[in-house]
Structure 1
Amino acid sequence: MAANTVRQERFIDLLSERAPVLSRWSYSPDEPYSITVEFQTSPDDWITWVFARDLLLAGLQAPAGVGDVRFVPFEDEGDRLLLFQVESDQGRASWFLNRDDAEEFATMTLDAVPVGAESEHFDMDALIAGLTDV
């Protein structure tokens, strides 16, 4: 999974019926601590979730996340999958991702900004200026 690609994943709804959903995963070295995922809800509408890159990295190894975003790696009949769950006050959704694709995306983020080098790419002064500019 490369940055800014569109993927079709398997979506599980509340009745355990499967339906396709498009998602866009992106990572920017300008925001090295976060990953953005967008889900298409209609032809012109996307819902955006932003979460810590460390959460995805941890979730590829073991269940991770205690808040609104969770990952659980597992195997099903030889398929390496990653359960991706999001939850808000408006509902919850779960997707099964191909874990190899998720690992490829994670590797791409690490190639762009290695763990521990995030502060070299993050402009804290610009963030503070944006927050205090009222």
Structure 2
Amino acid sequence: MNSLVHQTLVVQLQAGDTERCPVFAHLGYDAADPFALTVVFSHDGHVLARWTLDREMVAEGLLRPVGIGDVRLRPVSQGTLDELRIEFLGDPRADGDRHHAVVFAWAPAVAAFLRETHAVVPPGREEFRVDDFLAEVIDAG
């Protein structure tokens, strides 16, 4: 069985007070890091941002608001459209505020991606290899 899952979605990016802009979200999952999802946002062939997200948090974000740190998720319904709202808070700006962006993804597409990851490593069956982690830390010095 393949231990990698990839999916590319078109999502809507809203930065600050701007209108929404379509960008690509390249979702990735690797069973070697079973708790994490990666997402790379791109537009016109340029990488805009890379984030690592907690897989369980994304699943919960489809159902209810979650997150209190740099990433916050919540379901949003607009008529018949169900979206996952993902808010990212970045580095501080010169004015003391923080960079801020919101991404709106079609919730059924995110749920389908999560189902594929669950087929590779079911929730609750993730393993954290402490010995391998400690060996990497020791080797890095």
TM score, norm. by length of structure 1: 0.88
Measured in 2, the distance between the counterparts of 1:12 and 1:47 equals 13
What is the SS of the residue equivalent to 1:89?
strand
Residue in 2 aligned with 1:74?
Answer: 76
Superposition CA RMSD, Å: 1.8
Q: Is 1:104 the counterpart of 2:119 in the alignment?
A: no
Identity among equivalent pairs (%):
26
TM score, norm. by length of structure 2: 0.84
Residue in 1 aligned with 2:36?
Answer: 34
Q: Which runs of at least 4 in structure 1 moved beyond 3 Å after TM superposition?
A: none
Indicate how the Cα distance of structure 1 residues 28 and 86 shifts in structure 2: closer, same or farther if over 3 A, else same: same
C-alpha distance after superposition, 1:60-112 (max 9, x if no partner) = 11011111111110210211111011112151210111010011011111111
Q: How does 1:5-24 map to 2 (within 5 A)?
A: 5-24=7-26
Residue in 2 aligned with 1:84?
Answer: 86
What is the SS of the residue equivalent to 2:119?
helix
What is the SS of the residue equivalent to 1:96?
strand
Q: 1:49 is matched with which residue: 23, 48, 51? A: 51
What is the SS of the residue equivalent to 2:63?
coil
Report how many aligned residue pairs link the two structures: 131
Please say which structure displays the higher CA radius of gyration.
2
Indicate how the Cα distance of structure 1 residues 29 and 63 shifts in structure 2: closer, same or farther if over 3 A, else same: same
Structure 1: give runs of 5+ residues left out of the alignment.
none
Measured in 2, the distance between the counterparts of 1:83 and 1:56 equals 10
Measured in 2, the distance between the counterparts of 1:10 and 1:44 equals 16
Measured in 1, the distance between the counterparts of 2:39 and 2:101 equals 13
Shift of residue 34 of structure 1?
0.7
Structure 2: give runs of 5+ residues left out of the alignment.
93-98
8 Å contact kept, 1:41–1:47:
no
Amino acid at match of 2:72: R
Shift of residue 28 of structure 1?
0.8
